Structure 1
Amino acid sequence: MTSNLSWVPPEVDTNVPNPARVYDYWLDGDHNFQADRDLGDQVLKIMPGVRDAARLNRAFLRRAALHMVEAGVRQFLDIGSGIPTVGNLHEIVQQIDPECRVVYVDRESVAVAHAKLLLRDNDRCAALQADLRDVNDILNAPEAKELLDLDQPVGVFMLLLLHFVPDSWDPHTILARYRDRIAPGSFLALSHVAADADSQGLDEAIEAYKGTQNDPIPRTHDQVLSFFDGFDVIEPGVVGCAMWNPQGAGDMSDNPEINSLPYAGVGRKP
Structure 2
Amino acid sequence: MKSRILSVLCLLALLATAEAAGANVVGRLVDYRVGETVFKGFLAEDTALKTKRPAVLVVHEWWGHDEYVRRRAVMLAELGYVALAVDMYGDGKTARYPDEAEKLAGTVLKNRQVTEERFNAALAVLKQQPLVDPARIAAVGYCFGGTVVLQMARSGSDLKGAASFHGSLATDTPALPGEVRANLLVLGGDRDTLVPPAQVQAFLDEMTLAGASFRYIAYQGAKHGFTNPESDNYARKFGLPLAYDRRADFNSWTELRKFLHEIFKKAE
TM-score of the superposition, structure 2-length normalised? Answer: 0.38
Q: Relative contact order, CA 8 A, sep 6+: which one is greater?
A: 1
Q: Which structure is higher in strand share?
A: 2
User: TM-score normalised to the size of structure 1?
Assistant: 0.38
